[in-house]
Amino acid sequence: MSGELIHRQSHTAEVAAPAHVAYALIADPERWPLFLPRNVYTQRLDFDGTRERLRMWVLAGGQITSWTSQRVQDPARRRITFRQDLLMVPATSMAGVWSVQALDAGRCLLRLEHEFTTAQERPRDQAWLSEVTAANSRSALDSLRFLAERWPRLDQLALSFAESVRVKGPAELVYNFLYEIADWPGQLPHVRRVALEEPHVGIQKVALDLATADGGEAAVAGIRICFPHAGRIVHKATVPRPLLAAHCGEWSVLPDEHGVTVVSQHHALLREDTVEQILGPGTGLDQARRTVRADLTRESRQILHLARRHAESAVRTL
């Protein structure tokens, strides 16, 4: 770190929730793609109950960046330290601390601290990294505060489920159909338009116009991270459908000796303020959950069944 200037930032948020609630949210990074708007995907590589290693894909200044971090959890002190070992560009070092301080009457102070360096001869890198670190810190703290303050009914707001099909065909053909999202219009009845960008190999930025169950149309956008060798595509909505505050999930292609299982997983967070506006006065969260699940299930099944037909038809042709 010789010749490099260490830059430090500290951001805080007062939260109207007990300290253990806020700590539970920062201690569970695998749920961050659902909970934090700019976290696209987090993969826990190792965890022994205290020390963990994470691989993260994050939106930073409109770009998709990735790094790995070592974290040490200290639940007794409600403190988590972290240090990037495979660094995000353009940092030459990045470390910090999450901490939660109990206040009074069920309130707490959530703090996120960073210290980082960049190459001294590149001041634009330092300015960019300072800006995106501050913006992402504020976004994360705002989201965590929102969720912590709704902790008693978070189970009503969040839902997770999966759909699957068996395929008697090559896993490669199934994966290829799921990967080639730009070809879906005209094949899938609910997909009217797809705009696709691939800023890096395996990273897809997509915008879709979807037909809704009531005959309308919804515009959504998201990011897909593709792992062809593992048969996985994880996705995160950057512009979710109107009933949702957040939506993420995964397509998995799982071959075995008898064929292939294709799984579509969804994790969603309801947006309370739009429920009655969209579904009608007096509509509650239970009905909103049923509506969201029905819509996502219908669309997932259409994609799964067409992926199966795509693979099995190719086999019959051969």
> Which pTM value belongs to this model?
0.93
Mean predicted confidence (pLDDT) in 29-46: 97
The shares of helix, strand and coil residues in the chain, as percent rounded to the nearest 5, are 35, 45, 20
Q: Is the pLDDT of residue 3 over 60?
A: no
Query: pLDDT at position 317, please?
Result: 54
Alpha helices (H) along 149-283: 154-157, 171-179, 275-279
Q: 92-125 b/e with 16+ CB inside 10 Å = b?
A: bebbbbbbbbeeeeebbebbbbbebbbeeeeeeb
**Whole-angstrom Cα distance, residue 50 to residue 80?**
9
Q: Is the pLDDT of residue 2 over 80?
A: no
Query: pLDDT at position 1, please?
Result: 45
**Whole-angstrom Cα distance, residue 298 to residue 266?**
12
Q: Is the pLDDT of residue 318 over 60?
A: no
Sign of CA dihedral 183, 189, 192, 197: negative
Q: 89-126: per-residue pLDDT in tens? A: 999 999 999 999 999 889 999 999 999 999 887 889 99
Q: 213-228: per-residue pLDDT in tens? A: 888 899 999 999 999 9
Q: List the strands of the sheet with 259-270, edge to edge.
A: 158-167, 259-270, 244-256, 232-239, 217-227, 203-211, 191-200
Percent of the chain with pLDDT over 70: 98
Average of per-residue pLDDT values in the chain: 95
DSSP string for residues in 86-108? EPPTTEEEEEEEEEEEE-STT-E
Query: Virtual CA dihedral for 160, 166, 167, 168, nearest 10 degrees?
Result: 160
CB atoms under 10 Å from CB of 281, counted, come to: 6
Sign of CA dihedral 58, 59, 64, 65: negative
**Whole-angstrom Cα distance, residue 145 to residue 25?**
10
Q: 265-317: per-residue pLDDT in tens? A: 999 999 999 999 999 999 999 999 999 999 999 999 999 999 999 999 876 55
- DSSP reduced 3-state for 312: helix
126's tokens: 């330092």
DSSP string for residues in 120-162? TT-HHHHHHHHHHHHHHHHHHHHHHHHHHTTGGGHHHHEEEEE
| Cβ atoms of residues 135 and 114 within 8 Å | no
Query: pLDDT at position 289, please?
Result: 97
